[in-house]
Structure 1
């Protein structure tokens, strides 16, 4: 059963991140602490409304491209979870602009890498001591998202083996970089009892995905939650899953 005591999610002001918050609250055993991060908490109207009626939800300022906000968020979370640590980190923040070869720019490539790859890595690095703390609470338990886990919300566009259309240079390359980061983390953190896996949420009807997308945020996150629940042991780490379908995707 999926039952992490503490969860931190980036990019919660709308779309998939907001829906992940909602569905964690619907669990049989919701988290004791649910840290919902976004760049501008003041403007996150719906998220703030959820926090007002659910005391376990904390809206936290965190911009993945601003290191000072990452460090401040880490200190806040550490002061709340104390020795229990952080059980689950979901790196959900991302950017997507469909730019092809003719129009791609250096600036857009750098922006996508900062948000989609460098940002999640820096967030993971900052919160790693808290994840290790959580893993030490149950040293003999198998790897799982309830013990200590990192989930990187990736994209099917980052799969090299499944690329059949080309285009979207900033998104494809930055998500491929995130996938390599995920694989690296799964190897580096296995000894610490921390799981790390990437999940493609599907083509979702969000501001980023557009109205032509195939599934709703509710459908996407329901699939993601199912994947999180089934990730158990070392075989659940270092993988790339299609959240909606529950199937493995080739790197």
Structure 2
């Protein structure tokens, strides 16, 4: 894996993924981390300053007009190597999600961030993913080309036994079907598309009652990334590689 773009790296799982990728025996040559405001991403800046392979690109993922320039910035970093991995990690969840409290603004904003943004960012970076795939036509995996969409068990139909959480559940279920469609559409291009449940993790989104620490989740996710292969294409997995129910 020469290159990877990870969205939402100012804190939580995104920041954790950056840290874990720097610990593997052969870290990516180009580890591109995004955030909305570089000035507020103090810890990420410190990591960038001490690792020449870490690049920070600022982008508001709800500003779709910025995607063309963002793709150009990524291309300027990776050059002819193309992009091996896009990890769509950034996400949001509204606080009040029982039906009697749900507002249309919550539904729309959650969909934009959790579903539309990963789909449109994948579209913008697809030429770079295809370039990386063509540069290495042996096998399937992150050393060739892959898109990992951070989903959730809350987007699972079968595992929904408690109801509620409408904006978040809807957005992640939609992201799952988008992952499946892209895995079919670009199968012949050698690009793997996978949905991933990170576990219930202690982040701003997961809350303080979550049983998993960021390091536990992200270290397992990185190990799963490194062993992705053709069999994972179009699948839905949890952090440790166990299949998830749709």
TM bracket (short chain): over 0.9
TM-score (norm. length: structure 2): 0.97
Q: CA deviation at 1:150?
A: 0.1
Residue 144 of structure 1 corresponds to 141
Q: CA deviation at 1:146?
A: 1.7
Question: Among residues 198, 201, 206, which one is paired with 2:203 in the alignment?
Answer: 206
2-structure distance, mates of 1:106, 1:73 = 29
2-structure distance, mates of 1:73, 1:131 = 14
2-structure distance, mates of 1:67, 1:104 = 25
Q: CA deviation at 1:42?
A: 1.6
2-structure distance, mates of 1:66, 1:146 = 30
Q: CA deviation at 1:102?
A: 0.6
2-structure distance, mates of 1:138, 1:208 = 37
Residue 75 of structure 1 corresponds to 72
Task: List alignment gaps of at least 5 residues for structure 2.
Answer: none
Q: CA RMSD in A?
A: 0.9
Task: List alignment gaps of at least 5 residues for structure 1.
Answer: none
Contact between 1:10 and 1:62, CA under 8 Å: does it hold in 2?
Answer: no
1-structure distance, mates of 2:52, 2:102 = 44
Question: Among residues 107, 123, 126, which one is paired with 2:124 in the alignment?
Answer: 126
Residue 245 of structure 2 corresponds to 250
CA displacement 1:172-209 (0-9 Å, x = unmatched): 00000000010011111111000000100000001111
Question: Among residues 231, 235, 241, which one is paired with 1:239 in the alignment?
Answer: 235
Question: Among residues 47, 50, 53, which one is paired with 2:50 in the alignment?
Answer: 53
